[in-house]
Amino acid sequence: MPVIRTLSQAVGRMLPKPACGCRTSAVPVRFLGSSPRQIPADANFHSITFSETDHPRVLITGGLGQLGVGLANLLRKRFGKDNVILSDIRKPPNHIFHSGPFIYSDILDYKNLREIVVNNRITWLFHYSALLSAVGEANVSLARAVNITGLHNVLDIATEHGLRLFVPSTIGAFGPTSPRDPTPDLCIQRPRTIYGVSKVHAELMGEYYYYRYGLDFRCLRYPGIISADSQPGGGTTDYAVQIFHSAAKNGRFECNLKPSTKLPMMYIDDCLRATLEVMEAPAKSLSMRTYNINAMSFTPKELAQEVLKHVPEFQITYNVDSVRQAIADSWPMNFDDSNARKDWGWKHDFDLPELVTTMLNLHGSGARVAQAN
């Protein structure tokens, strides 16, 4: 039996073969991280596996953003409350803190993140920590650190410990030279925001780690996500959330995009269900690592017209934000998600009429909606 002389040789022998069937290379001691931290020479590497009857142990980073809390609720119903850990660098509200496990986690702190994964025997990781499009443009250096350096830490730790890793991407991963109507899964991607650039980087790095190290990386390109439970987080599609807050509160809304700006959108329940479905999909059914998903596309004018059916006194005005408008004009108008529908059976539930009725009901306009219906 040949003698294993180096840590790299040991790692190469212990890592599982990639699902793609290609050759597995030895994993670098510290992978791609930019800090001087290194894995100790006597570290033990082994992948975590669990049978089909066992529940995964889940960690959600950036859990207090628009999607994290809703995803935690969905996964806890599926896998049990104690098997899903929500994490963030911010202090959670009481109702979130008491709804299930919550811990502090800074994705820029490699040691802290690694300890969390090891101590809690994590097997699935949902990486939601990111600065969104408009906020990222206002603070490029912070966006670069969170969206890129943080991703490197997550990739390294997920590879070392054999995790199944989900990283969301976005319509912002495309640019003005991409085909816009429809936008396919595979086409030219030249985004012009740090958010978009970082998401293309995440897609390509995840695919690279899949082929090079066998990392079970899965990614969905989300359209604009609309939900009633969270406040807008600095994204270009935030108007489609804010309009419902304003319609229910005072019947007026000032939109920062042109009335004809068409973008793909999705209700949060469809988004979270798609995320769980792609994570549960058998590896052999996935023909790619990153998929478009879509439900509907509409303009601010079309959305306002649908709101008017339920809130007759609703008024919309337009005060265009040049930065957000330029971003929106470089994004897809419609997503081609035929591969997701073919490979793992993706199907949305909410179209525009159902979306508007649901959002107005959740914002306290239920009496108006019922009367209009």
Residue numbers annotated as active site: 195
**Which among 251, 231, 252 has a CA at the least distance from the CA of 241?**
231
Cα 293–Cα 330–Cα 130 angle in degrees, nearest 5: 60
Residue with tokens 């596996």: 49
Helices (H), the chain: 7-14, 68-79, 94-97, 110-119, 133-138, 140-144, 150-160, 194-213, 239-249, 268-280, 300-308, 322-329, 338-344, 352-362, 366-372
Which residue reads 């949305």 in tokens?
348
Closest alpha carbon to 242 in 147, 324, 330? 324
In terms of C-beta density within 10 A (0-12 exposed, 13-18 middle, 19 or more buried), how is residue 273 classed? middle
Among the listed residues 236, 237, 256, 239, the one whose alpha carbon sits nearest the alpha carbon of residue 247: 239
Q: How far apart are the C-alpha atoms of 99 and 82, rounded to whole Å?
A: 10
Q: Rounded distance, CA 257 to CA 240, Å? A: 10
Can you name the residues that pair with 169 across neighbouring β-strands? 221
HSE at residue 94, side-chain half, CA atoms within 13 A, is 0
Q: How many residues does the chain have?
A: 373
The CA angle 94-60-274, to the nearest 5 degrees, is 110
Residues 6+ apart with CB under 8 A from 55: 79, 80, 83
3-state secondary structure of 329: helix
